[in-house]
Amino acid sequence: MAPILELRGITKRFPGVIANDQIDLTLNEGEILALLGENGAGKTTLMNILYGLYDPDEGEIMIRGEAAQIDGPQDAISQGIGMVHQHFMLVPPLTVAENVILGNEPIQRGLFLDRKLAAKRIREISDTYGLDVDPEALVRTLPVGVQQRVEIIKVLYRSADILILDEPTAVLTPQEVDDLFEVIQTLVDAGKSIIFITHKLKEVLALADRITVLRRGKVVGSTTPADSDEEDLAAMMVGREVSLVVEKAPAQPEGVVLDVKGLSILDDRHSPAVNGIDLQVRSGEILGVAGVQGNGQTELVEALTGLRSATNGAFTIAGEAMTKASPREITEAGVAHVPEDRQADGLALDFPISDNMVLNTYYVPPYAKGIVLQDDVIRENAERLVREFDVRTPGIDLPAANLSGGNQQKVIVAREFNRDIKLLIASQPTRGLDVGSIEYIHKRIVERRDQGVGVLLVSSELDEITQLADRIVVMFKGRIMATVDAAAVTREQLGLLMAGVEVVELSAVTGA
Amino acid sequence: MKKGKRTEKERRQRWRGLLVPLLAIVTALIISGLLIIVTDFDVHDAFTHIPMEIVDRVEYSWEEVSLEEALEHHAAQVEIGDRVRVDGRWRTVVETIDNPERQLTLDEAREIYPELAVGVMVHFNFWQRPMVGFAAAWESVASAYAALFEGSIGSPVQMVRALIAAIGGDSSQLGRAFYPLTESLVTATPYILTGLAVALGFKAGLFNIGAEGQYFVGGLLGVFVGYSLKGLPMIVHLPLTLLAGMVGGAIWGAIPGLLKAKTGAHEVINTIMMNYIAFALADWLLNGPMQRPDDFRPISAEIQPSAFLPQFFASPIRLHLGFILALLVAAAVYWLLFKTTVGFELRTVGTNPHAARYAGMNLTWNYVLAMALSGGLAGLAAMNDICGVIHYMPNAFSAGYGFDAIALALLGRSHPVGVVLAALLFGILRAGASRMQSVAQIPIDIISILQAMIIIFIAAPEIIRALYRLRDKPDAELAPTKG
């Protein structure tokens, strides 16, 4: 029997870049194929070709053994290909049913929406695949995991047989990931075929039937979970041996550098985001803040760096009251900040690398004399940091926008580490980065810890928290669920805490 | 491999930065040329009625036609509907006459023209003699653009002749030969300054639509200092007057800046509103407290000669120190924006206010500063006109400099050098337009259309890229990094 989907020699060139180079890929019916690769390896480009968003320069697509021409998403859908995007394409104020039928509305008597029919079909789909979604619910009231299932229903509603899931676990809690895997298994049992795009090795090994690894636009190998382990896959992705375990000595914590007492913060919509939390970071330790995104971590970090004002409570940095300080005062007090959204906050993307390397120190000697910028010093500084932090770039005059995500993050880390700092506040420091860059940035953070810097590490990646942190606080709905010793806590316990479940029998709990 | 790719891309981008404006100007000139052609009655005539004289032997093939050939196109006998020439007028042959000036009867015609003969004129159309039409079209565009060139730069022949004469000791022709060029520079000066004003705002992420109002308020304050302070030496009075103009514009600009920073009110709306207030203020002051004594017109008193910007040459050449001043200001703006911490902050705020806040910059201060500097430049533009050219302030003061400035800043990509070049282009177009109208009878509005098209093409570079098949799409370049 012919495979349900086959790509032969797909090549896609962008000016100066070959995004996909002679890619062959086979998807058999009822199979889960994991497409693994670092950022920029060409995974998304390949899937966009399959979904009709790009035309390939060379190669052909075969669906059920027949050559297919895909001219856009509508065409892809009509040929049974559905895509669940990494960022949901949902309209929050509408109901599940309304979201699902959007663009494909069942019409009654030529004019009216047939909501009943839509709801009935959605309920059928939901029951068949165990998705457990209420068609009448408003999307904005649903948890992220359920919203993702709405996306899956959207695709199934349009009768897709081939489902492409683009980094589907990036926004989920560990429990939600398990639920998603169950859903995927049900889909496959019902005869659907799945392409699962990810750069997370554990998930690939847990879920996939076959694994195809992309590197720099080429297929570098195909394997199965039975024949490989995490180290093998990481090496294939990166092209060299990678250490997946962060090597660090036990922490030698000393004095308190960050002391937060009863801090409450409002979010942009003026509803409480953080409710009276206490925490302490001592120099020479890494305090990990775990939690699913959107539980107040963003607001906490913004308050601690002067970007958002607290409504209640106070905090001190190295003994100085800083609750009302400006971002500049906090920076000058010796705080380095690796912001959550590197492109929105951490960089001026249009500026050359050299300027980004002095984005918050441009006004102090030796970078400026009076108001005159010292171009030579700024350039030398950038040249040195680019070398020291291994930023892969042809030159320091390149706009930061032209760097890959990993190299952009290295620019920020280089800049923030290039000062005498007492406290490092790092928010999602490795989000979206490839294995190689993650390894590098983790090493640098541990290095700083060992030099006596206090580190507040906010991350929604459980692996990152457990490997890097010495102590962990788990945030849920603006409160701290527990403070635990990183060495003694299990992933499962953290997962439950992140989901808001009190875990009383935890031996590792040192205070709540 | 990656290294080579990036530098090449960079080089290409830099090249494209120049290519697109250039192609935009060329395209706009071509389209304006077509517009000149289709609106020119001479060209229209040359396409539809090409009069051809019948001669024995064809010597000049565009204007003459042999009898043999004419007979191929025309029946031997004159028919109704023919146009024949009687008493020096072209007349149509008809059955009944209702316009004796233009028509004659068939009988009459046959009396005069039993047959076509040598010396008779017949009409061809475009398809029979296409070159005549093309020649007329070319003639029309060429004369228009030649007039534009001579009106704005001058006649090269005259310039060379004047130079040769000057070397020989006779400098009397120099003034006339170089007058158009200097006039273009005079026209370009306020464009340079207002263009810089808007460009500086752009760099800080602010859309200053209010340069016009800032120009007016700057003019009011400056002209007041210019005429009311008497007896000061020039070295004190002139700078003081210019400074007063800058202060007036700066205050008018700073208000919307402050409103934006403190209340989030959008500067586009507020600068437009401030324009209306400025116009009304000028109206009131120039009809009231600041009106020239014993004059019925709404104009201010003339400023003291000590506040005049010195002119370089004898009348009628009006080129004055303001032009040099504008170039120096452009250099200063460049220095401020790219070489100082002040400019670094302004540009960071402009490119990414979130990153600016993250980096500890004060957004309020930067918004107010950017708008004040922007307004100050617009005010200086007003003082350039007052101190350098007209020496008083009329009510209908600006020629829309503040609004054209937005286009200039776009055209110059908000870079001081680009703005100066764009302003020179506008100065040239404006100065040449009047000669184009008088010599080639091309309406002056064509220049407005030309400017508008240049701006549209600059603002929507995709049009140019599509027209000239410049393939490099920026979004495609970004795509693979998301992989």
Q: Beta partners for B124?
A: B50
Give the CA distances from residue B369 to residues A361, B260, B345, in Å, rounded to whole numbers and listed in that order. 20, 12, 11
Pick the residue from chain B with its C-alpha nearest to A325. B360
In a domain, B176, yes or no: no
User: Do B94 and B35 have their domain in common?
Assistant: no
**Can you tell me the mean pLDDT for A436-462?**
90
Of A19, A360, A371, the CB nearest to B342: A371
- Separation between Cα atoms, residue B281 and residue B291, nearest integer Å: 13
Residue B367 sits in the same domain as residue B297: yes
Q: Confirm or reject contact between A437 and chain B (CB < 8 A).
A: no
Does the structure's ipTM exceed the value 0.90?
no
Same domain, B364 and B457: no
Contact B477 A16 (CB under 8 A): yes
- Same domain membership, residue A59 and residue A21: yes
Cβ of A347 under 8 Å from any chain B Cβ?
Answer: yes
Alpha-carbon gap, residue A181 to A186, rounded angstroms: 9
Q: How sure is the predictor about B117, in pLDDT bands with cuts at 50, 70 and 90?
A: low
What is the pLDDT at residue B233?
Answer: 94
pLDDT in tens, B321-377: 999 999 999 999 999 999 999 999 999 999 999 999 999 999 999 999 999 999 999
pLDDT for position A110: 66
Q: Any idea which residue has 């600068």 for tokens?
A: B271
Q: Which of A373, A392, A398 sits opposite B344 (nearest CB)?
A: A373
Taking CB atoms and an 8 Å cutoff, what residues of chain A touch B482? Answer: 39-40, 44-45
Residues A55 and A141 in one domain: yes
Are the beta carbons of A367 and A373 closer than 8 angstroms?
yes
Q: Do A351 and B351 touch (CB under 8 A)?
A: yes
- Do A200 and A310 share a structural domain? no
Q: Is the pLDDT of residue B122 over 70?
A: no
Work out the pLDDT band at B2, boundaries 50, 70, 90: very low
Residues B134 and B222 in one domain: no
Instruction: Provide the pLDDT confidence category of residue B479 given band limits of 50, 70 and 90.
Output: very low
Q: B116 and B81: one domain?
A: yes
Asked, for residue B175, whether it belongs to a domain, the answer is no
- List pLDDT tens digits, range B134-193: 888 898 899 889 989 988 888 888 888 888 888 888 777 888 888 999 999 999 999 999
Per CB-CB distance under 8 Å, the chain B contacts of A368 are 340-341
Q: Given A389, A414, A439, which residue is the final one in a domain?
A: A414
Whether A16 sits inside 8 A of B471 (CB atoms) is no
Q: Which residues in chain B are closer than 8 Å to A54, comparing Cβ atoms?
A: 479
Size of interface A-B (CB pairs under 8 A): 124
Q: Given this model, what pLDDT does residue B235 score?
A: 93
Domain extent for B38:
1-49+130-147+443-472
Specify whether B267 is located in the same domain as B317: yes
Residue A93 forms contact with B (CB below 8 Å): no
Interface touch A392/B6, C-beta < 8 Å: no
Q: What is the mean pLDDT of residues B24-31?
A: 91
CA torsion, ordered B140, B146, B149, B153, to nearest 10 deg: -160
| Residue A309 Cα, gap to closest chain B Cα (Å) | 13
Name the nearest CA neighbour of B419 among B334, B335, B342.
B334
Residue where a domain stops, chosen among A372, A397, A414? A414
In a domain, A145, yes or no: yes
Rg over alpha carbons for chain B, rounded to the nearest Å, is 30
Is the per-residue pLDDT at A227 higher than 70? Answer: yes
- pLDDT score at A198: 84
A250 DSSP 8-state letter: P
Q: Which of B341, B356, B483 sits opposite A373 (nearest CB)?
A: B341
Based on the fold, state whether residues B108 and B220 are members of the same structural domain: no
Q: What is the CATH number of the domain that holds A467?
A: 3.40.50.300
d(CA B380, CA B222) in angstroms, rounded, equals: 9
Regarding whether A260 and A160 lie in a shared domain, the answer is no
Q: Starting at the edge strand that comes first in sequence, how are the strands of the sheet with A471-476 ordered?
A: A335-338, A423-427, A454-458, A286-290, A471-476, A479-485, A509-511
Is the CB of A39 less than 8 angstroms away from the CB of B481? yes
Contact flag A375-B339 (C-beta cutoff 8 Å)? yes
Alpha helices, H only, B113-155: 130-152
Domain boundary residue, one of A204, A220, A238: A238
A227 and A282 in a single domain? The answer is: no
Q: Do B480 and A45 touch (CB under 8 A)?
A: yes
Q: Which of A385-394, B178-187, B375-384 has the lowest mean pLDDT?
A: A385-394
Residue pLDDT, tens place only, A112-151: 777 788 888 889 988 888 888 888 889 888 888 888 899 9
Residue A59 lies in a domain: yes
Q: Is A404 among the domain residues?
A: yes
A337 touches chain B (CB under 8 A): yes
Q: Tens digit of pLDDT for each residue in B298-335?
A: 999 999 999 999 988 877 788 899 999 999 999 999 99
Cα distances (angstroms) measured from residue A96 to each of A116, A128, A152, A153, B380: 13, 17, 11, 9, 60
- Residue A341 falls within a domain, yes or no? no
The CA-atom distances, in angstroms, between A386 and each of A39, A240, A335, A346, B48 are 20, 22, 22, 17, 70
CB contact (8 A) between residue A404 and residue B481? yes
Dihedral sign computed on CA atoms, order B234, B239, B242, B247: negative
B-chain residues near A372 (CB < 8 A):
339-341
Share of chain B above pLDDT 70, in %: 78
**Same domain flag for A401 and A508:** no
Domains of chain A: total: 3
Mutate to test the interface with A, among B202, B335, B336, B341 (most CBs of A within 10 A): B341
Distance from CA of A428 to the nearest CA of B (A): 16
pLDDT of B279 above 80: yes
pLDDT tens digit sequence for A272-312: 999 999 999 999 999 999 988 788 999 999 999 999 999 99
Q: Which domain holds residue A374?
A: 348-414
Classify residue B161: in a domain, yes or no.
no
Chain B residues with CB under 8 Å of A40 CB are 480-483
Q: Is residue B277 part of a domain?
A: yes
Across the interface, do B360 and A392 touch by the CB < 8 Å criterion?
no
Q: Residue B100's pLDDT is what? A: 59
A394/B477 touch (CB, cutoff 8 Å), yes or no: no
Task: Indicate if B108 and B138 belong to the same structural domain.
Answer: no
Structure token digits, residue A20:
């996909």
User: Confidence band (pLDDT; 50, 70, 90) for A384?
Assistant: very high
**A82 and A120 housed in the same domain:** yes
Q: Which pLDDT value is given to residue B132?
A: 75
Same domain for B300 and B434, yes or no, is: yes
Q: How many of the other CB atoms lie within 10 Å of CB of B61? A: 12
Q: Which of A87, A363, A374 to mutate to test the interface with B (most CBs of B within 10 A)?
A: A363
**Quick one: B141 and B205 in the same domain?**
no
Report the relative pairing of strands A372-373 and A471-476 from DSSP bridges: unpaired
From B245's Cα to the closest Cα of chain A, the distance in A is 25
Same domain, A511 and A435: yes
Say whether pLDDT at B220 is over 90: yes
Judge if B348 and B467 occupy the same domain: no
Specify whether A81 is located in the same domain as A228.
Answer: yes
Instruction: Tell me which residues of chain A, numbers 11 to 70, contact chain B at a CB-CB cutoff of 8 Å.
Output: 14-17, 19, 37, 39-46, 48, 54
What Cα–Cα distance (Å) separates residue B53 from each residue in B42, B50, B60, B136, B139? Answer: 19, 10, 10, 18, 21
More confident residue, A98 or B420: B420
Report how far residue A149's alpha carbon sits from residue B425's, in angstroms, rounded to the nearest whole number.
Answer: 59
- pLDDT exceeds 50 at position A44: yes
Where are the alpha helices (H) located in B153-266, listed in sequence order?
A: 156-167, 174-203, 211-228, 234-263
CB proximity A338 to B under 8 Å: no
> Residue B41 corresponds to which amino acid?
F
Question: What is the chain A residue with the closest CA to B342?
Answer: A371
- Spatial distance between the Cα atoms of B125 and B141, rounded to a whole number of angstroms: 21
| Residue bearing the bigger pLDDT, B245 or B84 | B245
Q: What is the mean pLDDT of residues A450-477?
A: 92
E strands, A94-134, are: 107-108, 112-113
Across the interface, whether the CB atoms of B358 and A337 are under 8 A apart is answered: yes
Q: Are residues A488 and A358 in the same domain?
A: no
The pLDDT, as a whole number, for residue B30 is 93
Let me know if residue B478 belongs to a domain. no
What does pLDDT average to over chain B? Answer: 83
Judged by CB atoms closer than 8 Å, whether chains meet at A337 and B10 is answered as: no
Residue B167 resides in a domain: no
Q: Residue written as tokens 């896959």? A: A233
Instruction: Indicate if A446 and A510 belong to the same structural domain.
Output: yes
CB A427 within 8 A of CB A298: yes
Residue A60: how many CA atoms within 13 Å on its side-chain side? 7
Cis amide prior to B114 (ω within 30 degrees): no
* A17/B480 Cβ within 8 A: yes
Query: CATH number of the domain that B431 lies in?
Result: 1.10.3470
Q: What pLDDT is attached to residue B374?
A: 97
Contact A14 B7 (CB under 8 A): no
Q: Is the pLDDT of residue B17 over 80?
A: no
Tell whether A111 and A172 lie within a shared domain.
yes
The maximal CA–CA distance of chain A, rounded, in angstroms, is 76
Considering the domain boundaries, does residue B202 fall inside one? Answer: yes
B398 and B467 both lie in a single domain: no
- Nearest residue on chain B to A367, judged by CA atoms? B341
Q: Are strands A372-373 and A218-223 parallel, antiparallel or unpaired?
A: unpaired
pLDDT at B52: 64
- Residue B457 domain flag: yes
- B71 pLDDT higher than 80: no
User: How many other C-beta atoms lie within 10 A of the C-beta of residue A499?
Assistant: 17
More confident residue, B267 or B474: B267
Residue A339 counted as domain residue: no
- Is residue B480 very low, low, confident or very high in pLDDT (cuts 50, 70, 90)? very low
Candidates A371, A375, A397: best to mutate against B (most CBs of B within 10 A) is A371
Residue A343 within a domain: no
Arithmetic mean of pLDDT over chain A:
88
- Rounded to 5 degrees, what are φ and ψ at A5? -145, 135
Residue A402, chain B, CB below 8 Å: the answer is yes
pLDDT in tens, A77-92: 889 999 998 778 889 8
Number of domains in chain B: 3
CB–CB of B37/B43 below 8 Å? yes
Interface contact B483-A41, CB threshold 8 A: yes
Contact A17 B340 (CB under 8 A): no
Which range, of A133-147, A318-332, B382-396, averages the lowest pLDDT?
A: A133-147
